[in-house]
Amino acid sequence: MSFRSHMEAALQEARAAAARGEVPVGAVIVAPSGAVIARAGNRTRELNDPTAHAEVLAIRAACAAVGAERLPEHDLYVTLEPCPMCAAAIGFARIRRLYYGAADPKSGGVAQGARVFAHPQCHHVPEVYDGIGAEPSAALLREFFAARR
């Protein structure tokens, strides 16, 4: 299965984000061909943009690459459970499958909190697979926040 290597690519983006002083979250989007067409890490500080989460940046880049506002048959890998904003964006983008690593009890919006995909107002629900590469993703976040305390 290739999902491990795609999550590894997302983890690389998370590590790069940490090196930039950003919260270490990374995401990649995989086209139906199996090719990674977008990869991004958080850039909220660099861009002075509270919406510049890895998932949003990856979706924007993938849509630009495809030339469409939706990404049906595309899969998104992200190292951390998406927040409600990103979960909504994933629904708008019509992402086919969402793979995420660590659960996020503080800000997650998929398996807890807002549970965006559980509402009838959510018009597209991806298949969700959690816990992929959860441990290295969580460790990266722990190290990042421990260093800041």
Q: Which is nearer to Zn ion, 1 or 59 (CB)?
A: 59
Tokens for 24, please give them: 């270490």
Q: Does 83 bind Zn ion (CB under 5 A)?
A: yes
Q: Does 132 bind Zn ion (CB under 5 A)?
A: no
d(CA 34, CA 9): 13
The least CB distance from residue 42 to Zn ion, in Å, is 8
Residues in the chain, overall count:
149
- Give the CA distances from residue 47 to residues 10, 21, 41, 43, 57, in Å, rounded to whole numbers and listed in that order: 20, 12, 12, 6, 11
Which residue out of 8, 13, 46, 55 is catalytically annotated?
55
Tokens for 27, please give them: 């995401």
Q: Which is nearer to Zn ion, 11 or 86 (CB)?
A: 86
Q: Which is nearer to Zn ion, 7 or 23 (CB)?
A: 23
Annotated active-site residue 55? The verdict is: yes
Q: Which residue has the tokens 């998370």?
A: 14
Q: Does 53 bind Zn ion (CB under 5 A)?
A: yes
Binding mask 90-129 for Zn ion (x = CB under 5 A): ----------------------------------------
Q: Does 27 bind Zn ion (CB under 5 A)?
A: no
- 41: β partners: 26
CA angle centred on 60, ends 141 and 34, rounded to 5°: 80
Binding site for Zn ion (CB under 5 A): 53, 83, 86
**Would you name the residues annotated as active-site residues?**
55
